[in-house]
Amino acid sequence: MTTVPDDDAPAQPPVIRLMVVDDHAIVRRGILAYVDAVPTVEVVGEATDGQDALAQLAQCAALRTRLPDVVLMDLQMPRMGGVEATAAIVQAHPDVRVVVLTSFGEVERVHAALAAGAAGYLLKDAEPAEVVTAVQAAAAGEVHLDAAVARQLTRRMAGPQVGLGALTAREREVLALVAQGHSNRDIAERLRISERTARTHVSNVLAKLQLASRTQAALLAIREGLIPPPS
């Protein structure tokens, strides 16, 4: 008997390839345990510090094997810490998203990591579900903000040299949607524009505000009152 595929069956979401970078094996094992039961996330690499992570990514690129989609990066590690490693990964592998793993007292390092191009951050005491949510958000090009850290960052974040007044009305709309965690595709659908146009608007917003990442844009939008802070 021939089986006819069901065209109406929902498409399975792609599996997110995750690399975990932390100098503590127990942390890596814990994260692996978090995501082991999640069918849409697969740990494909572990690294003990930034240098190890960069070496593994360089080897993947040299062999033309698929890179991780998301790197979960500790900030304090020997040899090369998370801030330096994040900057190097973003420069060498721009399609790889980096989420920094931080403690509550590391706000200055988080700010530096965001300036280096990190896509978001996650507290080390986060619940397993939040770890998965942060990884999925980063893979989708969205922003994941911990409410408590976001409040500290918005207080410390230096204002951009060019203010919100430089943005068009449409760009302010886009900034607000970015701050709410929407991907370029979501923004395109909500504003009824093409995804390419949405991507251009996001790039223009970041350039005008002299910001390095969508996460920094989200923090600025919170600080300026475009959207309420995370509850």
pLDDT by residue (tens digit) across 210-231?
A: 887 888 888 888 887 778 777 6
pLDDT band at 3 (very low <50, low <70, confident <90, very high): low
Q: Where are the domains of the chain?
A: 16-140, 160-223
Whether CATH 3.40.50.1950 fits 16-140? no
pLDDT band at 160 (very low <50, low <70, confident <90, very high): very low
For 160, the token pair is 């951009």
pLDDT band at 51 (very low <50, low <70, confident <90, very high): very high
C-alpha to C-alpha distance for 210 and 136, rounded to whole angstroms: 27
Q: What's the rounded mean pLDDT across residues 180-192? A: 90
Q: What is the structure's pLDDT at 34? A: 84
Global confidence as pTM: 0.66
Strands annotated E in the chain: 16-21, 41-47, 70-74, 97-102, 120-123
For 141, the token pair is 């090009």
Q: What is the structure's pLDDT at 161? A: 45
Q: Is residue 48 a contact partner of residue 77, using CB atoms and an 8 Å limit?
A: yes
Q: For the domain 160-223, what is the CATH code?
A: 1.10.10.10
Q: Could you tell me which of 70, 76, 83, 81 has the C-alpha nearest to residue 105? A: 76
For the chain, how big is the Rg over CA atoms in Å?
18
Range with the poorest average pLDDT among 19-23, 80-84, 187-191, 209-213? 209-213
